[in-house]
Amino acid sequence: MIVLGVESSCDETGIALYDTQRGLLAHALHSQVAMHEEYGGVVPELASRDHIRRAIPLLEQVLKNADMPRSAIDAIAYTQGPGLAGALLVGASVACGLGLALDRPVLGIHHLEGHLLSPLLSRDPPSFPFVALLVSGGHTQLMRVDGVGQYTLLGETLDDAAGEAFDKSAKLLGLGYPGGPAISRLAEFGDPGVYKLPRPMLHSKDLNFSFSGLKTAVLTVVKNQITNICEQDKANVARAFVDAIVDVLVAKCVTALKETGLKKLVIAGGVGANRQLREALDAAAHKRRFRVYYPELEFCTDNGAMIAFAGAMRLQINPDAARRDYAFNVRPRWPLDELRNV
C-alpha cells in the first residue's frame, strides 16, 4: 500500500509518500520560518495562504522524486488536528480534493500521533511498548505507547509547554524567532551556575509538568538588570534556563520508566532535536540502563512523512478506516486520548 501524507497544521507544509513494503519513498517540506520571523511568531492567516501556494508544487516534487504517477497512490492521509484551523483546512481540502479526483480513500490523522510514531521511521526503530516524551509546540506529555492507537497519558503540562517556555524566554532575551533553537545555541556559550532558576514540579511525586513559573523567573532576572543585559549575561541566563528544562524533563522520564517498568524511551517532537536534552538523556540512559530512541532530525519538526506513516499503520490495522465520501472537518483542539484503535 502506498500512502500519501499531507501535513499543514501550523507553519510547515509537508508532503510524503510511504510504502508499507519499501518504506519512505520520498518527502518534501517547506518551512515558513523566514516569513513569520519579522512578526516574532506565526501569523495564522499568512500561514494558511502559504500552505495553499506550496501544497501542489510539493506534491509534484515528491511524485517526481519517487518516480511515480499520481495513479500509484492507494490512500491519502492528512493532518486533521490539532493545529491552526485555517492551516488544517488547507491540507484537508487538498487531500480530499485529490482523493475525489483519483477515487482514492482519505483518512484524517492526529498530528501528535504522527509525532509519537515518527521514531519508527528511523534506521533503528523501537518496538512496542515504550514510554514516549512528546515535546511539540504547545504540548509536553508523557505517554505509555503499547501499539498504534494504544496510548495512555501518564502526565502532561499544567500550563506552558516546554516549547512555549523556550520561545517566550528567548523573546525576553531579545532573540529571534523561532526562539527554541536560538536560546539553545546561546546556552552553549553560557557558564553553568551563574543563575539559579527553579525546576518546577521536579519533586511533585507525579508525572505532570509546569513551565510558566520558569519563564517568569527568566523575566525577573532580565528585569533585575540595572542596565541593558550584556551578551555574556544573556548566555548565562540561557544556560540556566536550558539546564532547568532539561533537568525536569529527564527526571520525569526516568520516573515514568521506573513506574511502568519499561526500558525503552522515545523522544518525539521539535524539542527532541535539542542537543542538551539528548546529551542528558543519553547520560541518564547509560547510568540507569535504559535505551533512548530519537527520530531522525529531519522528522523532529512537523513533516509529511510522519503523517503518511501514521496513516499507513492505521490502514494496516483497519483498511476501512479511510473513506471515500470526501466530506471533511478539522479539529483544532483534539486530545490524543480520544484516539481509539478500531
Q: What is the pLDDT of residues 2-29, one digit of tens each?
A: 999 999 999 999 999 999 999 999 999 9
Residue 178 predicted with pLDDT over 90: no
Q: Which of 88, 84, 73 is nearest to 7 (CA)?
A: 88
65 CB-side CA count, 13 A: 15
Residue 127 predicted with pLDDT over 60: yes
- Which of 52-66, 167-181, 277-291, 308-322 has the weakest average pLDDT? 167-181
Helix (H, G, I), strand (E, B) or coil at 5: strand
Model confidence over 240-274: pLDDT tens digits?
A: 999 999 999 999 999 999 999 999 999 998 888 88
Q: Cell 499520481 maps to which residue?
A: 70
Residue 341 predicted with pLDDT over 80: no
Provide the pLDDT for residue 183. Answer: 94
Rounded mean pLDDT of the chain? 94
Contact 167, 180 (CB under 8 A): yes
Residue 137 predicted with pLDDT over 80: no
Residue 99 predicted with pLDDT over 90: yes
Q: Which of 294, 296, 299 is nearest to 266 (CA)?
A: 294
**pTM for the whole structure:** 0.94
Nine cell digits for residue 176: 529571534
Percent of the chain with pLDDT over 70: 98
Is the model more confident about 129 or about 272?
A: 129
Provide the pLDDT for residue 38. Answer: 87
- Measured from the Cβ of residue 56, the count of other Cβ atoms closer than 10 Å reads 12
Model confidence over 52-62: pLDDT tens digits?
A: 999 999 999 99
Residue 226 predicted with pLDDT over 60: no
Length of the chain: 342
- What are the DSSP E strand ranges found in the chain? 2-7, 12-19, 23-31, 75-81, 106-110, 130-136, 139-147, 150-156, 264-268, 291-293
Strand order in the sheet with 106-110: 23-31, 12-19, 2-7, 75-81, 106-110
Residue 316 predicted with pLDDT over 50: yes
- Pairing mode, if any, of strands 264-268 and 291-293? parallel
At residue 340 the predicted structure's pLDDT band, cuts being 50, 70 and 90, is low
Provide the pLDDT for residue 342. Answer: 41
Residue 223 predicted with pLDDT over 50: yes
**Which residues, 6+ apart, have CB-to-CB distance to 218 below 8 Å?**
169, 172, 173, 197, 237, 241
> Does the N-terminal peptide bond of residue 129 adopt cis geometry, omega within 30 degrees of 0?
yes
Alpha carbon distance 55, 244 (integer Å): 39
Helix 231-260 with 212-223: angle, nearest 10 deg: 160
Model confidence over 158-171: pLDDT tens digits?
A: 999 998 999 899 99
At residue 227 the predicted structure's pLDDT band, cuts being 50, 70 and 90, is low
Which is it for the CA torsion 60, 7, 108, 313, positive or negative?
Answer: positive
Q: What is the mean pLDDT of residues 325-341?
A: 86
Alpha carbon distance 254, 175 (integer Å): 32
Q: What is the mean pLDDT of residues 167-189?
A: 90
**Which residues, 6+ apart, have CB-to-CB distance to 31 below 8 Å?**
11, 12, 301
- Which of 168-172, 208-212, 228-232 has the weakest average pLDDT? 228-232
